[in-house]
Amino acid sequence: MSIFNRNHLIALIAAASIAGCSSTPEDTTGGSTAGTDTTSYESTATDTSAQVDPALQGRVVYFDFDKYDIRYDAEAILSAHAAYLSANPGARVRVEGHADERGTREYNMALGERRAKAAAAYLASKGASSSQIEVISYGEERPSALGHEESSWSQNRRAELQYTSEAP
Amino acid sequence: MLVRYFIVGFLALLASIARAELTVEITKGLDDAIPIAIVPFGWSQPNRLPEDVSAIVSADLYRSGQFKPLDRADMLSRPTEASQVFYRDWRVLKTEYLVIGKLIPAEAGRYRADFEIFDVFQQRSIKKATVASNNLRALAHAASDIIYQTLTGIRGAFSTRMLYVTMERMGPKKQRYRLYVADVDGYNDRIILESPEPILSPTWAPNGRHVAYVSFQSTRPSIYIQDTVTGRQQKITGFPGLNGAPSFSPDGKRLAMVLSKDGNPEIYVMELTSGRLQRITNHYAIDTEPTWTPDGQHVVFTSERGGSPQIYRQHIASGKVERLTFDGNYNARPALTPDGRFLAMVHRSNGVFHIAVKDLVRGTLNVLTETDLDESPSIAPNASMILYATMHGGRGVLSAVSLDGRVTVRLPSRFGDVREPSWSPFL
């Protein structure tokens, strides 16, 4: 009895989500196979992501050489995460700051912290609570790209957002 | 049977690899290096010695870049006492100095070496000395110290040690960090700390026994002090934010460091017995990498307060600050010679990072290295050489350069990236 109710409910959600989307042939096909649990969940998941800011998929923002100001191309990603943190007070994020290999290790440790703090401050300015954000610098210790030229260095001058609870 | 031989052979190979992770090669020596001959020391016992003492002495003197030891295959005679020395044998080979000696078994498994240094052109003995140790490598380094001091007037630093960090990639996002202590010729290397998390900024206490470093072993950076003899590790700081760049005061009682617990990276000094912290800098810019002047009255550090990283000196008692570097827009990671006159640093020119030395009396800056991505200068206690980290063949390697830049030596590692050398005080 309860199983029937649950399946019934899922079918309703699936139907609602299809109604909410455009009625393309693919959607109809998806809806027709919505009799099993997994497919129903998939279709609800598709529905949720349709409402989510795609910038929330981005977890890394990049910086210019020896700089720690937030670049224009990082604003969309950070704003999306700030909105998510604001809407989900239980979410916690760790902002990890990194530097490229040039320059001294301890100076890069300080530079990495500056970058992480700049990203954290941006999140806070857009509505995240500072209690949701933790900051750590790895300096040049954890490069993302292993080369020794600008194309690698530009990948390594970064701040990464790592959710420790309630990741989007 | 064949398998057994193979295993024995393989184990022997492993043992030879484990023997010294670092080996030394001179990349630039002096044209006028002094020709010297270290004759194989005599040994009258039936057993074979585990180490070749005169070869170790030759290698020490060669590595200084100031000596050109004669290949023993070219020696016309091999005297082990003064009565056997024929100066013409050495004069024809243009050898300027000759060292001969004998090894003698001493009490409790110790060895003794009695040796003598001769001036070939003046045809006279200039020094007789004795060294003893239970370790033949240590005995050889002690002999090298005496020979070096006799011929250059400068105390030898061959009996000192170094710290360095290696990082080995075990897979994507998986690393192994190891902190080593080793003789300065790379032998007797021993791991004193191993962690999957970063280890950095190792440095010696003036007692030559304790070391301080930064380890992320708790997943966040903390400063630790470790006893290299007992291995005991003590956590010194664990503040929120940066806990970095430890540096012992010349008397070993205080530890300078960088902390960002109050918002910015600032220099602090901790009194080690009480744990009491004194904040030294107060600036919104990055302040880091403190070191001490020999009198213990000032800290010298990197700051970007002028818009780019430069080196400053601050008097601790008065707070008076003075900028020390003006050449170029990147000077960082200061290290001072024991007399306080020369300042070694990481200096960027034309986008390339080199080791440079500034003469603080004359005000001149001398770029010493031609390698790239040079880091972490650490000066020998006799100020003869600067150890530093650089890149070679895409990997981190240790190198050394003389203070005048005329001699460079590379210490290649067989595996992993080697970085952050720290030269011990005299032991």
What does B149-180 look like in DSSP terms, one character per residue?
HHHHSS---TT-EEEEEEEEEEETTEEEEEEE
Mean pLDDT of B162-177: 92
pLDDT of residue A49: 45
Q: Say yes or no: B201 contacts chain A, CB-CB below 8 A.
A: yes
Query: Quick one: pLDDT band at residue B34, thresholds 50, 70, 90?
Result: very high
pLDDT of residue A53: 82
In order of B7, B8, B9, B14, the CA distances from B1 in angstroms are 10, 11, 12, 20
Q: Given an 8 Å threshold on Cβ–Cβ distance, is B353 in contact with A102?
A: yes
Query: Quick one: pLDDT band at residue B157, thresholds 50, 70, 90?
Result: very high
Mean pLDDT of B362-384: 94
The least confident of A25-29, B203-207, B423-427 is: A25-29
Q: Tell me the sheet residues that pair with B396.
A: B391
Q: Say yes or no: A94 contacts chain B, CB-CB below 8 A.
A: no
Which among B198, B265, B302 has the least Cβ separation from residue A141? B198
CB < 8 Å to A116, chain B: none
The Cα A6–Cα A37 span in angstroms is 9
Q: Given an 8 Å threshold on Cβ–Cβ distance, is A106 in contact with B309?
A: no
Q: Given an 8 Å threshold on Cβ–Cβ distance, is B391 in contact with A104?
A: no
Residue B234 three-state SS? strand
pLDDT of residue B345: 98
| φ, ψ at B389 (rounded to 5°) | -105, 140
By the 8 A CB rule, do A99 and B228 touch? Answer: no
Residue B248 has pLDDT above 60, yes or no: yes
pLDDT digits (tens, 9 = 90+) for A63-112: 999 999 999 999 999 999 999 999 999 999 999 999 999 999 999 999 99
Put simply, the chain A residues between 101 and 120 with a CB less than 8 A from any chain B CB are: 101-107, 109-111, 113-114
Which among A101, A106, A142 has the least Cβ separation from residue B201? A106
Residue from B213, B287, B289 whose CB has the most chain A CBs within 10 Å, to mutate: B289
Q: Given an 8 Å threshold on Cβ–Cβ distance, is B244 in contact with A106?
A: yes
CB < 8 Å to A60, chain B: none
Mean pLDDT of A29-55: 46
pTM given for the model: 0.86
Could you tell me the two tokens for A130?
């500072």
Please give the residue that has the higher pLDDT: either B370 or B311.
Answer: B311
Determine the straight-line distance between the first and last CA of chain A, rounded to whole angstroms.
Answer: 34
The Cα B179–Cα B194 span in angstroms is 6
Tell me the percentage of chain B whose pLDDT exceeds 90.
83
State the nearest Cα–Cα gap between B354 and chain A, in angstroms: 10
The Cα B351–Cα B349 span in angstroms is 5
Which among A104, A113, A148 has the least Cβ separation from residue B394? A148
**3-state DSSP: chain B helix, strand, coil percent, rounded to 5?**
15, 45, 40
Residue A44 three-state SS? helix
Residue A13 has pLDDT above 70, yes or no: no
Closest CA to B244 of B216, B217, B263, B272: B216
State the nearest Cα–Cα gap between A64 and chain B, in angstroms: 15
Query: Quick one: pLDDT band at residue B209, thresholds 50, 70, 90?
Result: very high
pLDDT of residue B416: 75
